[in-house]
Amino acid sequence: MAETKASFGVPDGCAKAPAFHPPNIEQLRKIAGDLGLELTDEELTAYREHMLDLEEEYGILDELAEPTLPVKYPRTPGWRPKPEDNPFNGWYWRTDIQGAPSGKLAGKTLGIKDNTAVAGVPMMNGSRVLEGYMPEFDATVVTRILDAGGRILGKTAVEDLCISGSSFTSSKLPVLNPYDATLSTAGSSAGSAALVAGGQIDMALGGDQGGSIRLPAAWCGIVGLKPTWGLVPYTGISVIHPCIDHAGPMTRTVEDCALMLEVIAGYDDGLDPRQPPNIVMPEYSKLLTSDLTGMKVGVLREGFDKCESSVVDSTIRSAMDYFKAAGASVEDVSIPMHITGRNIAGPIIFEGCYETIVQGCAVAFGFPGFYPTTMQQATARGIRTHLNDVSHTLKMAALLGEYTKQRYNHIHYARAMNCARLLRKAYDDALANYDVLVMPTIQKLPQKLPAKGSSIKEKIEKSNETLSNTAQFDVTHHPALSINAGFADGLPVGLMIVGKHFDETTVLKAAYGFEKKRDEK
């Protein structure tokens, strides 16, 4: 049954564009100065007179009912979980939304990362910036999950606006690792990983712009897939930067990962500009096989260059025996540009994040598709009033983004985007000879959460310490999956499997064959 905006209590001021009021002469004079324009009073008056005519034109928008995304299943706003009902601090908000009576996800319980709109349920995105916002629409992936019979039990805790690779920057509480509560889960899909690993839910939705699905999957010992860019629609999800936005499944098994991908992937009728219109959608779960005979696995040498612990290196290399036992051939391969790729990813992530979140209110501005206008307005207000309350990582990105804009006109971002084509080709050339590439997801074991009173420098470093092998594939858009390779010192070690664009079938097959042989041990 469809729900209306009013049934979710969306304030009128959030449901439509504010009235357009033309600037006065003094406002125009200031704007002209900020732009470096030298205008006379006569010129300013002329420009203002033209803008007066726009008041009526813009005002027409107030009378139009803009199309939104459907809400098909009833729900209540839910409740904030009590500490005793919030293992690992993994939940931001609890609810209980039952989808269709049958479907591929019937009987499965899920958590939705709290950067994703669920109508009538509070959404904070880990930040004071968005606190108090309640969407009036369901993100496309949420509708697809419910249409498939999934049962949504709540919104999972995330890092502050998802800008962290650790799990301590949420404005509420740090998310704790299920294997050791003193350790990070990694981030930013921290709650999703912890709750799946801890057995609280069967599956969760994650988001990935620098590794945020794969990183917590690795440190929590579960399966997390960053699909090819555009395979899963991002419609109705808070944006970090449209060129690196990905959403994907986080599960305990490869079979569940394939099943969830089947449900959430596919073209979204032009609502998401990231998507090509000719997406081919196989039934991934029916194509899994434990027989990897003929598959060629390339072990990326440069993926081990920052391994701070020999046990991570040895655990991953020992795990290659599982591929061999499943029938695959395994060889070392070198892609020197993988290391340079970290430098390419940096400006794209940080400068793109600043322009999209701080300047653009977390929407993919300038593209055709669905614009979540209530989310945009809530983010704009929050940025104006709560930027002082965000994490040190986000403040650093804001300062860096504004500085590189003023001083360098984002030329480093532009060069990085150009060089990303070279990085993509380097991986593509290797994947012409191998079915998949593999490496550690994170080159160290789960790390301690920062102690109270830690310095700003230490907190920023801990937020970024996990990204060495993951961020490159957000920029090049290759599908990449993390699976548990084994344990070292009692802690999970993640193995990352990377494949060709839109070849999730091979990535999932490789992971499934690996998983079956690992579990036979």
Q: Give catalytic status of residue 188 as yes or no.
A: yes
**Biggest alpha carbon distance in the chain?**
82
- Taking Cα atoms as reference points, which of 92, 93, 96, 98 lies closest to residue 76? 96
Q: Give catalytic status of residue 334 as yes or no.
A: no
Dist CA 159 CA 130 (whole Å): 12
Q: Catalytic pick from 127, 167, 170, 188?
A: 188
Q: Catalytic pick from 5, 108, 113, 509?
A: 113
- Taking Cα atoms as reference points, which of 482, 491, 447, 480 lies closest to residue 192? 482
- Taking Cα atoms as reference points, which of 124, 193, 114 lies closest to residue 152? 114
- Taking Cα atoms as reference points, which of 519, 521, 500, 492 lies closest to residue 194? 492
Q: Give catalytic status of residue 212 as yes or no.
A: yes
Dist CA 339 CA 354 (whole Å): 24
Dist CA 319 CA 327 (whole Å): 14
Dist CA 163 CA 353 (whole Å): 8
Q: Catalytic pick from 184, 212, 285, 463?
A: 212
Residue 26: strand, helix, or coil: helix
Dist CA 146 CA 113 (whole Å): 15
The CA-atom distances, in angstroms, between 266 and each of 109, 283, 421 are 22, 11, 25
Residue 130: strand, helix, or coil: coil
Dist CA 144 CA 349 (whole Å): 29
Dist CA 95 CA 56 (whole Å): 43
Q: Which pair of structure tokens corresponds to residue 91? A: 């939940």
Identify the helix (H) or strand (E) that includes residue 332: strand 329-333
> Beta strands 223-226 and 480-488: pairing type?
antiparallel
Catalytically active residues are 113, 188, 212
